[in-house]
Structure 1
Amino acid sequence: MLLFAVTSCKKELVRINKNPNEVENPQPDYLLGAAEKNGADVYWGQSSNFASSELITQQWAMIQYTDPDRYIFNGNSFSTLWTTIYSSTLTDIKVMMELGEKQDNNNYVGVGHVLRAWNFQLLTDAFGNVPYSQAGQIEQSSVAIYDPQKDVYAGLLKELDTALTDLDPAGTPIEGDLIYNNDISNWRRFANSLKLRIALRIADADPALAKTTVQEVLTGKELISSNDQTAAFIYGASPNWNPVAANFSTRNDYRISKTIVDKLYALNDPRLPVYASLPENPEITKYVGVPNGLTTSDANSLGLANTSKPGSYFLADNAPAVIESYSEVLFLRSEAAARGLSSEDAPSLYKQAITASLNQYGITDATQITAYLNQPGVKYDAQNYKKSIGVQKWIALFGQGLEAFAEWRRLDYPVLTAAVSGKYGKDIPVRFIYPSTEQTLNRKAYKAAVAAQGTDDLFTKLWFDKY
């Protein structure tokens, strides 16, 4: 009788807790599109992008409510990246992959592995040690250990290899793909390009694995090889619009940073009119960036109409959320060659990378591009490749705050000066702090991670960030 009562209670709970709006038979194509959009939203959204990483890397700045620009963060500041990926994006990916297996469609499985690798890369780049090997195994346990960052990157490389085994352009087609429009060949290029990104991410910390991975990737040359093959989520009109456009539709808190405006002016960079808007005050005919980390009163005194918002390209409803660009892949190949990880031509690839970035924003005039490349401040410096690549990559990654943040820490260029009224003096954050919910919901694993990695603050350097 007791067993019958318990069973009946379970059935009743299932009935009561059933969501009447939930799809009875989810389809992999809908889950794929949802996972892609959730990932793009959090990558280009406020919490992890223009209210944090883009401020730290001084691509954007704040003109109102400037605490984040002064590095005043707390345990909730970065929670959106963590909770969205773990509770939503990875769940959709997991179910999509399971349905793909049931339908004997390995291409859904392969795409799922690529998306998992990208999402976990975002997490570990930002936080360091994160749940990976046990993540999403709610059937076994409601908590998960934090894997060392070294193991996470190694696991992601293996997962991308698995993806490449599954992805077959001649196999069963997929549907619902809002990144590559169901083109499996491009997903293979993206998978290899992600491997190249991770290889260079770990190049200072694990040069042997980095070299092996670079040589594997370059052997097949199955990489993103044109701007048309860039991995990007293309938005539409409201409500499915770019998070930047959504924010600026109701708020007026952000401006382009003075740091990048000054650099673009110094280099006579043709991307300046793309990256920045002229101030609304018609009497001001130059782009005016805002210094990072002003107090709210000092920022307000500059005047909302007298400072530059990001360019209209980035404020458009349908602006793409770039995930990995052709320009980035060329920069990675250039750096790999400079490090001796490949036999390619580093200076040539560096020029190609800059050209690809200019082309990405509609700058195609050959004379203009040549003039830009021949400037002393742009020319490749073989004696300090990290400076050349670091500065130009920082410019090219405008808008991709999380990626710019990771590369700035790894390459140590451009040299940035801390926020004007930063909370920590001359120090600039080098990681995100874990969400406060981890201390209560996964306390044992959280404490073990902090003991292994270091204090859970903004200034504990991560494993990949050696110098």
Structure 2
Amino acid sequence: MKTLKKIALIIGIMVLTWACTDNFEETNTDPNRTIVGDIQASGMFEPLLYNGANAWQNYTWFWNNELIQFTAFTGGTTRQEHRYFISDANWQSVWNFYARYANNALHMHNLSIEQEDPSLEAISITLKVLYLSNLTDMFGDIPYSEAFLALSEEGVVKPRFDSQEEVYRQMFADLEEANNIYATNPIFIKPSLDGMYGGSMDQWRKFNNSLYLRLLNRVSGRSSMNSGDKMTEMLNNPSKYPVFTSNEDNATVVFSGNDPYRSQFDNTNEGSFTSSGRKLTEQLIKMTVLTNESDEQIYEDPRLAIYGKKNPNTDPNLPLVWKGTVAGCTESEQSDVDRGTSWLNAAVFCRADAPGFFMDFAEVQFIFAEAALKGLIPGGESAARQYYESAVAASIEKWAPLGQYSETPVVISSEDISAFLASDLAAWDSLDNKEELIGNQKFLALFWVGMEAYHEYRRTGYPELTIGDGAIYNDFILPTRFAYPNTTMATNGENAQEALSRMGGENNMKTPVWWSKEAIE
């Protein structure tokens, strides 16, 4: 019996703590049981890229938008994430996703070394960091140095949790290693497999280093990380650290629309996607629409009609207007606040060939804008303004081509972008607090980019969000992290508990992560 219990424990740890793959059936059913060399590293690339991008979109829709008040499910009570009703099963699912994909990226890395494929060796490192950075940003301290070693020579079945500072330092080292490999100009053997960059190592290298900037920015509030020095080094050495320089470099996965390269929300109807549940919020509308003294809507962010659509089921005698529902509303308020509220634009997002966004040029420009404003990189406020305006323009230009898919096509001209940058919504002089202005516009630009808006809100505190009266499930506190799943606490409790003690809190959604504004203050 003791032996059986021990076996069950090890299996539980392997499956649930590090999350072996469960959706790479055709190429790699279980990487923890595949002998290196049995399959080609290239056989793992497409699932990592396409399935990962689809999950990224789903997390945007299901988690990020509800937590950060882009949308709120006020069409019923079957989903209450906007009220912070989040269970252990949710924590487990999120933990498993990021760990599973990181594990498979590491397995592709081992295969690529065995098969002498440096292109996939570098890409696997970039993808591993992409997924593990989100795991640590969602949960705090995580296994990194000892992760995924259960069936290695070390046989680590209960990995220690590295502090988030240690995790970030290791991710930086990994991204440096990947950058050096990309610098050797390896050849991507099968470019047709790559639905993001067509096998271009130059663009993968830019993504790797732009991701590096994202993570440097994330921990920039911690002076011990010397983020500004590294950003300045990268900025001054573009040949050594190339980063995104236009929307042509965006880390965007292009789905052909043909099986199996279809977007997550293909064949999703408007009701299940938005009109029966997830509606645009007051928070989003107030940040994207200007009204006059008579409360008439007189101007809007040119992206809004691409992000969303006005509710057509309103009084035909009244003009259609943008109306947001109340995130975190009570159940008794729900019917009133939901009436007539605007929807997500299903015509744009629910297409077989709708793209998946990992990162874009606009984000890089926002990072430089903030860094210049704070004196982390040279240039001061003048440079900050230039980076900021470049960032806003790049975001609108990224979304503009998707306007063609709206039921009423949206066309955005260069004059429209200039008008927006001169408007009270986005003009550099519209707010005295330039840090807030940058944070607000970055928030809008991060629409539909994974969990990034949620991460950035916890780091900066922008935009100012209003917590609804119905957000009772976390005592009216927007979740500061996700809690470690019960399975992790049961199978690796000693290490997890040590991590919680180091983070200074309990295993709940109120303990701030190390890089957050709350933890630093």
Counterpart position of 2:325: 290
Counterpart position of 1:155: 170
**Equivalents in 2 of 1:260, 1:199: separation in Å?**
28
- Residue identity matched to 1:352: S
Counterpart position of 2:510: 459
**Equivalents in 1 of 2:79, 2:25: separation in Å?**
42
SS of residue in 2 equivalent to 1:429: coil
Matched, 1:360 2:398: yes
Counterpart position of 2:405: none
Counterpart position of 1:391: 440
SS of residue in 1 equivalent to 2:433: helix
Residue-by-residue CA offset, 1:335-386 (whole Å, 9 max, x unaligned): 1111112124110110000000111111652222222111244222596332
**Equivalents in 1 of 2:469, 2:487: separation in Å?**
31
Cα distance change, pair 322–410 in 1 and its aligned pair in 2 (3 A): same
Cα contact 1:227–1:356 (8 A) shared by 2:
yes
- Residue identity matched to 1:353: A
Cα contact 1:107–1:168 (8 A) shared by 2:
no
**Equivalents in 2 of 1:129, 1:81: separation in Å?**
15
Cα contact 2:102–2:132 (8 A) shared by 1:
no
Matched, 1:31 2:28: no
**Equivalents in 1 of 2:338, 2:283: separation in Å?**
18
Cα distance change, pair 146–208 in 1 and its aligned pair in 2 (3 A): closer
**Equivalents in 2 of 1:50, 1:173: separation in Å?**
32
Residue-by-residue CA offset, 1:312-347 (whole Å, 9 max, x unaligned): 322333222211111101101111111112124110
Residue-by-residue CA offset, 1:375-414 (whole Å, 9 max, x unaligned): 2442225963320111001111112251001111111111
Matches within 5 A, 1:309-458: 309-311=343-345, 312-344=347-379, 345-362=383-400, 364-380=412-428, 384-423=433-472, 424=474, 426-453=476-503, 454-458=505-509
Counterpart position of 1:268: 300
- Residue identity matched to 2:372: A
**Equivalents in 1 of 2:414, 2:267: separation in Å?**
36
Cα contact 2:228–2:376 (8 A) shared by 1:
yes
Residue-by-residue CA offset, 1:110-153 (whole Å, 9 max, x unaligned): 11111011111111111111111111111212221111111111
Shift of 1:250: 7.3
**Equivalents in 2 of 1:131, 1:166: separation in Å?**
25
Matches within 5 A, 1:201-280: 201-206=218-223, 208-221=225-238, 222-237=242-257, 240-245=261-266, 248=269, 251=272, 252-266=276-290, 268-280=300-312
Cα distance change, pair 303–463 in 1 and its aligned pair in 2 (3 A): closer
- Residue identity matched to 1:347: R
**Equivalents in 1 of 2:487, 2:286: separation in Å?**
40
Residue-by-residue CA offset, 1:260-314 (whole Å, 9 max, x unaligned): 022211262111101112224163622332211234564345668x332212322
Counterpart position of 1:308: 342
SS of residue in 1 equivalent to 2:226: helix
Counterpart position of 1:15: none
SS of residue in 2 equivalent to 1:232: strand
Counterpart position of 2:91: 78
SS of residue in 2 equivalent to 1:347: helix
SS of residue in 2 equivalent to 1:255: strand
- Residue identity matched to 2:514: W
**Equivalents in 1 of 2:26, 2:186: separation in Å?**
33
Matched, 1:100 2:137: no
Matched, 1:118 2:135: no
- Residue identity matched to 1:116: K
Matches within 5 A, 1:147-186: 147-168=162-183, 170-175=185-190, 176-186=193-203
Cα contact 2:99–2:135 (8 A) shared by 1:
no
**Equivalents in 2 of 1:313, 1:21: separation in Å?**
31
Cα distance change, pair 433–49 in 1 and its aligned pair in 2 (3 A): farther
More moved, 138-147 vs 21-30: 21-30
Shift of 1:100: 1.5
TM superposition score normalised by structure 1: 0.88
**Equivalents in 2 of 1:146, 1:408: separation in Å?**
25
- Residue identity matched to 2:99: Y
**Equivalents in 2 of 1:297, 1:246: separation in Å?**
33
**Equivalents in 2 of 1:167, 1:61: separation in Å?**
42
Cα distance change, pair 26–208 in 1 and its aligned pair in 2 (3 A): closer
Cα distance change, pair 132–218 in 1 and its aligned pair in 2 (3 A): same
SS of residue in 2 equivalent to 1:77: helix
- Residue identity matched to 1:32: F
Shift of 1:452: 1.2
**Equivalents in 2 of 1:383, 1:300: separation in Å?**
38
Counterpart position of 2:62: 51
Shift of 1:449: 1.3
Cα contact 1:418–1:425 (8 A) shared by 2:
no
**Equivalents in 1 of 2:25, 2:216: separation in Å?**
46
Residue-by-residue CA offset, 1:193-223 (whole Å, 9 max, x unaligned): 0111111111111365201220222122311
Unaligned stretches of 5+ in structure 2? Answer: 1-23, 29-33, 291-298, 401-410
Cα distance change, pair 75–152 in 1 and its aligned pair in 2 (3 A): same
Cα contact 1:248–1:315 (8 A) shared by 2:
yes
Counterpart position of 1:143: 158
- Root-mean-square deviation (CA), in Å? 2.5
- Residue identity matched to 1:121: S
More moved, 90-99 vs 134-143: 90-99
More moved, 75-84 vs 411-420: 75-84
SS of residue in 2 equivalent to 1:120: helix
TM superposition score normalised by structure 2: 0.80
Unaligned stretches of 5+ in structure 1? Answer: 1-18
Cα distance change, pair 333–83 in 1 and its aligned pair in 2 (3 A): same
Cα contact 1:278–1:286 (8 A) shared by 2:
yes
**Equivalents in 1 of 2:444, 2:27: separation in Å?**
43
**Equivalents in 1 of 2:253, 2:492: separation in Å?**
33
**Equivalents in 1 of 2:185, 2:201: separation in Å?**
9
Shift of 1:246: 5.8
More moved, 91-100 vs 391-400: 91-100
Shift of 1:240: 4.4
